[in-house]
């Protein structure tokens, strides 16, 4: 009697559980299920963009693109290397159609894994050859310059370092900040690695661990400079211009300093975009990439609030920025930047 009793109870529970689970499996209204339904069920081909670029910038592109073509775009937000590694692990099963990054090392990683389709010729033609890899497996979509922002009430011009490498010297102990966890900073290190080699990079990272304060995000680092918590921060240029264009409350005491002279600290980092081989909506994905490197897409960079450099379709940079040709950036082949080596070196140095 007792056995039968609990067995029956068990069946009842199993039924309830099954009902409950199917109910929540089928009925969970998440952002995905609704957008997936729209993209698969509708006539328009929706695409999924794994986006490591700033969410607000890509959203401007997406809104303009959807308005023009009617193609729906779903975004997954993450950091460069998080998403590149994720795409590699997902392999052929990846739901991503397009991958956009802030910097190029993560693009190279996916390219080396053989997961990118060739970018359409029309698209490649829109971007200068030096801002895209020779392989044509992905393309530059925007660019960003390394800059040292400093607090003008705490440092004078003559106290500024000649080279980014000087920041590893003892006199800079406790005085500068960076966001070592970000892809931006890791791209700067990858450029350093490419320009000066492994030993010099290791040495510099050791000095950085010793001297720098770590913040989460470039804007937070700049905010700390502004508040006088640190004297300077190694970030990208547009955080400063973006804040100035708004209220300036995080940059009123801050001035940007460009290293120039082909210094590693004058590195111009290329943001990348590519279409995945495994994409089931390849045509729409290529169309998206063509759109953002085209005139309209690049004008979002010129006229919008991102303050990143426009690089394609002969659209000039935003008027407020130092023109690219005046930056005296070192020549670095984007296809040679190595993110895995960089994260290893940074992990060894105790920064990650």
Partner 1 sequence: MTTDLSAPARRGTTTAGRGNSPRPPFGVSAVSVLAVLIALFSLVPLGYVAYMTVATGWDTAVGLILRPRVGELLLNTLLLMAATIPLCLLLGVAGAWLVERTKLRGHRVWAVLLAAPLAVPAFVNSYAWVTAVPSLGGLGSGILISTLSYFPLVYIPAAATLSRLDPAIEQSAAALGLGAWRTFFRVVLPQLRIAMTGGALLVGLHLLAEYGAFAMIRFDTFTTAIMTQYQSTFNGAAGNMLASVLVLFCLLLLLAEVRSRGTARYARIGSGVQGKALRLPLHAYQWPAQLFLLALTALAFGLPLFYVIRWILAGGADIWTASEFLPALLTTFSYGLAGAAATTVVAFPMAYLAVRHPGWFSKSLELSNYVTSSMPGIVVALAFVTVSIRLVPGVYQTAGLLVAAYVLLFIPRALVNLRAGLAQAPKELDEAAQALGKPPLLAFIRVTLRLTAPAAAGGAALVFLAIANELTATLLLSPNGTRTLATEFWSKSSEIDYAGAAPYALLMILLSAPMTYLLFQQSKKVAGQ
Alpha-carbon distance values, 141 to 280, 292, 313 (Å): 22, 7, 10
- Contact between 250 and partner 1 (CB under 8 A)? yes
Asked if 85 is part of the footprint of partner 1 (rule: CB under 8 A), the reply reads yes
Task: Based on the shown chain and the rule CB under 8 A, indicate whether residue 352 belongs to the binding site for partner 1.
Answer: yes
Neighbours of 52 (CB within 10 A): 26
Applying CB under 8 A, does 48 fall inside the site for partner 1? yes
Q: Which of 27, 41, 67, 158 binds partner 1 (CB under 8 A)?
A: 27
153 part of the interface to partner 1, by CB under 8 A = no
Options 44, 79, 253, 313; binder of partner 1; rule CB under 8 A: 79
Query: Contacting partner 1 (CB under 8 A), which of 44, 64, 66, 78?
Result: 78
30 binds partner 1 (CB under 8 A): yes
| Structure tokens given for 136 | 């044509």
Considering only 42, 55, 173, 333, the residue that binds partner 1 (CB under 8 A) is 55
**Contact criterion met (CB below 8 Å) for 220 and 293:** no
Question: Helix 339-348 crosses helix 80-90 at what angle (to 10 degrees)?
Answer: 120
Q: Is 7 in the site for partner 1 (CB under 8 A)?
A: yes
Establish if 17 lies at the interface with partner 1 (CB under 8 A): yes
- Rounded Cα gap, residues 220 and 214, in angstroms: 10
The DSSP result for 236-278, as a single string, is ETHHHHHHHHTT-TTTTTEEEE---TT-GGG-EEEEEEEEBTT
Residues 104-119 as b/e (b if ≥16 CB within 10 A, e otherwise) read bbbbbbbbeeebbbeb
Residues that bind partner 1 in the complex, under the rule CB under 8 A: 2-14, 16-17, 20-21, 23-25, 27-33, 35-36, 48, 55, 74-79, 81-86, 88-90, 93, 95, 181, 186, 213-217, 219-220, 223, 227, 229, 250, 340, 343, 346-348, 350, 352
């Amino acid at each position: 009697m007792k056995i039968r009793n609990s067995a029956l109870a068990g069946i009842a529970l199993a039924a309830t559980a099954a009902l409950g689970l199917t109910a929540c499996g089928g009925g969970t209204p998440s952002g995905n299920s609704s957008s997936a339904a729209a993209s698969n069920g509708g006539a328009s081909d929706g695409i999924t963009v794994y986006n490591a670029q700033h969410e607000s910038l890509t959203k401007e592109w997406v809104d303009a693109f959807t308005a023009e073509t009617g193609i729906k775009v779903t975004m997954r937000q993450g950091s460069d290397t998080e998403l590149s590694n994720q795409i590699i692990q997902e392999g052929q099963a990846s739901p991503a159609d397009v991958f956009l990054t802030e910097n190029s090392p993560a693009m190279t990683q996916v390219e080396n894994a053989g997961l990118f389709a060739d970018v359409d010729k029309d698209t490649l033609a829109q971007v200068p050859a030096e801002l895209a890899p020779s392989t044509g497996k992905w393309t530059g979509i925007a660019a960003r310059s390394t800059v040292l922002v400093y607090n003008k009430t705490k440092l004078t011009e003559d106290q500024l370092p000649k080279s980014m490498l000087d920041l590893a010297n003892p006199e800079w102990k406790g005085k500068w900040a960076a966001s070592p966890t970000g892809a931006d900073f890791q791209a700067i290190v990858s450029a350093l690695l490419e320009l000066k080699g492994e030993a010099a990079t290791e040495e510099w990272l050791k000095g950085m661990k010793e001297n720098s304060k770590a913040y989460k995000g470039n804007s937070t680092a700049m905010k700390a400079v502004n508040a006088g918590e640190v004297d300077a921060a190694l970030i990208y240029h547009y955080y400063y211009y973006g804040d100035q264009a708004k209220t300036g409350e995080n940059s009123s005491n801050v001035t940007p300093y460009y290293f120039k002279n082909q210094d590693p600290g004058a590195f111009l980092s290329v943001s990348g975009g590519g279409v995945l081989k495994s994409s089931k909506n390849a045509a729409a994905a290529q169309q998206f990439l063509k759109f953002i490197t085209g005139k309209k897409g690049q004008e979002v960079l010129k006229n919008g609030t991102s303050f990143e450099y426009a690089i394609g379709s002969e659209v000039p940079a935003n008027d407020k920025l130092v023109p690219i040709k005046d930056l005296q950036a070192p020549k670095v082949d984007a296809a040679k930047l190595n993110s895995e080596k960089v994260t290893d070196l940074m992990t060894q140095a105790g920064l990650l």
